[in-house]
Structure 1
């Protein structure tokens, strides 16, 4: 892997970390605790006058670094250590910086790409610190509600830095009930962790609102969401196999219902679009990209959105090239077909934040209903779908349908996938 000063065929190589250091872990077992304590001592992080609580902060910070190292296949990680990222967390910037400098001094970490607008700094971590047999758990310390400042005019603009985290004091009286909801969901997760085949576990989420408002965005985020969909289906809850229950065409369904259009979306809404029906399978992904951009942009699209795939030299592949579109094609050649299929999209331009908020309330309410039932049912959100035990499938379907009826007034089509590659569609009641 080349660093940021290397060039290949005259093209600057952009590195990308495949794991983030996140503030959430501590040792699960006594063996792991002994190992992390030994590593803290070897890094000479503790002085004789330090309080036990200070050592605990170093242990948690080192644990976070080790977990990121375990998760990385390339040895390249990202590690946000600014005050913005560490506000009100289990440890602050001073602890994180001490650990970084200690690792740097021992030659265990190296900065290989400086951060710049829209891109995080990338570090190469010595993978020897992630020895076999380690086991960590989430400590649940820190805020579970975040409100981020407005960062851009439309949601689809690529490579934009996240909005800064705002103080919750300006939302006093409004954010506390939202926090109680997420903590109730996390309590069930703590009792029923989501476990990967390699032993990694997740057991908490947080809710992030956008644009400096409590009615924009609001999705639940957790570490399992960065895993590939096919890999998530190999996870277990209480040692039982899981399935993933997806709201089919979530934004389209919500927009269709709220505008009163009552378009029959069918079991796969994107098949209504001519270029999807008549094209290769990749054209469905193109349609999803364009629909997302149309919902995010307050104005009619006049050009293709920026591509979301890079080539081997780190160059973003243009959408036309990515989807093998004719060089002479215009974005309106495709958006006009989309409008014919979904005429209600003309009424929801620039509304991604609002639609995401409605979708998030559907998911949160379904999770609360499952958490507060006679027997708590654990489920893990992945934006517009829920990951749950196969044995809980019927209850999760019922909770999603009821929540969607309450929020939108209509039942969605649900798509369920299983580890064995099988899937099924659950249609609304007639």
Structure 2
């Protein structure tokens, strides 16, 4: 399994590093599945491969003993000797996957749902993901949501998804579980865990020059090509409905601001607790992703303050976003509820596999119209308005 992962990583990018903490505590309560690998067997494999010259190991470190401080996990990379050995047995990097059998997808996982605390910032302003919060699995809401994810995992265990390593199992993560009087109504996206890069982390279209040799459009489900059914302006639609304000016919048709830039601004704003003071690095990377040699400069082309003012003039409801009683966690919960319900209904009622994205589902091409009907009905049921759907 480790050799397969090393060869896969080497086939994707030249640095080819895998990351894994070697701290003993990190091997306890492994993930959300019931197939843990303990510290001792893992360390034995690492030492054996390294001793034979097949594995390069770069030891990780932590900046301090503070449990909340970040560090760098230990990195692992296949050496040329391992790659040469594989080739002696007919295993070439481009077709590594045809020589290894993936573990079958589980019908059940240990933690179909997770509850996490709110994220926090340290003294340096770095944001840290909230830790897990204990909860009673017999709580009616927790039991209901866990049962729904269990149904979805059970269904997907028998579906042929290619590339196989892009999905293993789902877990649903609820947010802000450390708030008083928590009601299981914050966040709650359905996340895919995978042995390789999850399909949710793939770009829609392959970008070999950036190391992404496979895009979501290359996925097949039960041997059939796929399409994405997408909810247009999902967060904006939900927010305007909740605040009882009409949504502009085309919320992204803003004079002087390209649609791509407007979407980036809306995404970073409604996913945040207030307004940003500048373009975040992730937004800059997204803007330049389709420009060769990184020629595009978001701040240079569209200065943040000026661009924000134009967007707020077009979408005046957002002017009060920092003080709005509705937060990103509320928007995400309603959106994810619609998507997860659609995935569940398509699976259990129609026998149709639908891979969830944040605001979309990936389905076999022949099932696109059915997926649109189901997703539209589920969105209306949670939000109270029919969404605008597009197919890609």
Q: Which TM-score bucket, shorter chain as reference?
A: 0.7 to 0.9
Q: Which residue of 2 aligns with 1:292?
A: 267
SS of alignment partner, residue 205 of structure 1:
strand
Distance in 1 between residues matched to 2:315 and 2:3, nearest whole Å = 46
Mapped to 2, the partners of 1:396 and 1:182 lie a distance apart of: 19
Q: Does 1:382 align with 2:351?
A: no
What is the aligned partner in structure 2 of residue 274 from structure 1?
255
Task: Tell me which residue corresponds to 1:343.
Answer: 316
Please name the residue that 1:253 is paired with.
237
Report 1:48-67 matches (<5 A). Answer: 63=1, 66-67=4-5
SS at match of 2:300: coil
Aligned partner of 1:103 in structure 2 is 46
How many angstroms apart in 2 are the aligned matches of 1:85 and 1:289?
37
Deviates more, 1:129-138 or 1:141-150: 129-138
Residue of structure 1 equivalent to 2:328: 352
Query: What is the CA–CA distance in structure 1 between the aligned matches of 2:138 and 2:306, rounded to whole Å?
Result: 44
1:240 and 2:242 are equivalent in the alignment:
no
Match of 1:205 among 153, 170, 173: 170
Return the match for 1:172 from 124, 139, 144.
139
The answer to whether the 8 Å contact 1:118/1:159 transfers is no
Q: Deviations over 1:386-430 (max 9, x none)?
A: 00001111110001110111111111121211xxxxxxxxxxxxx
Kept after mapping to 1: 8 A contact 2:27/2:39: no
Alignment of 1:188-203 (within 5 A): 188-196=155-163, 199-200=164-165, 202-203=167-168
Describe the SS at the equivalent of 1:174.
helix
Of 20, 23, 38, which aligns to 1:79? 20
Q: Distance in 2 between matches of 1:115 and 1:162?
A: 17
Q: Does residue 305 of structure 2 align to residue 332 of structure 1?
A: yes
- Do the aligned partners of 2:120 and 2:129 also contact (CA within 8 Å) in 1? no
2:9 touches 2:18 (CA, 8 Å); kept in 1? no
Q: 1:422 is matched with which residue? A: none
Are the equivalent residues in 2 in contact too, given 1:88–1:142 (CA < 8 A)? Answer: yes
Aligned equivalent of 2:201, options 196, 217, 226: 226
2:241 and 2:383 in contact (8 A); partners too? yes
CA, structure 1 residues 171+160, in 2 after alignment: closer, same or farther (shift >3 Å)?
farther
TM value normalised by structure 1: 0.67
Q: CA RMSD in A?
A: 3.2
Aligned to 2:389: 414
Question: In the alignment, what sits opposite 1:392?
Answer: 367
Distance of aligned partners of 1:341 and 1:84 in 2 relative to their CA distance in 1, 3 Å threshold: farther
Deviation at 1:112, TM superposition (A): 5.5
Q: How far, CA to CA, are the matches of 1:220 and 1:276 in structure 2?
A: 32
Deviations 1:309-335 (A, max 9, x none): 67xxxxxxxxxx831526xx8633122
Could you tell me whether the CA contact under 8 Å between 1:186 and 1:203 is conserved in 2? no
For 1:141 and 1:407, the matched residues in 2 are separated by 27
**1:124 lines up with 2:94 in the alignment:** no
Corresponding residue number in structure 2 for 1:263 = 247
Structure 1 residues 261 and 228, CA, compared in 2 at 3 Å: closer, same or farther?
Answer: same
Tell me if the contact between 2:60 and 2:75 (Cα under 8 Å) persists in the aligned partners.
yes
Which residue is 1:70 aligned to? 8
Q: Are the equivalent residues in 2 in contact too, given 1:367–1:379 (CA < 8 A)? A: yes
Structure 2 unaligned regions, length at least 5:
64-68, 193-197, 206-214, 286-295
Change (3 A) 1:141 1:408: closer
Which of 179, 182, 186 aligns to 2:153? It is 186
The aligned counterpart of 1:368 is 344
Number of residues paired by the alignment? 328
**1:149 maps to 2:130:** no
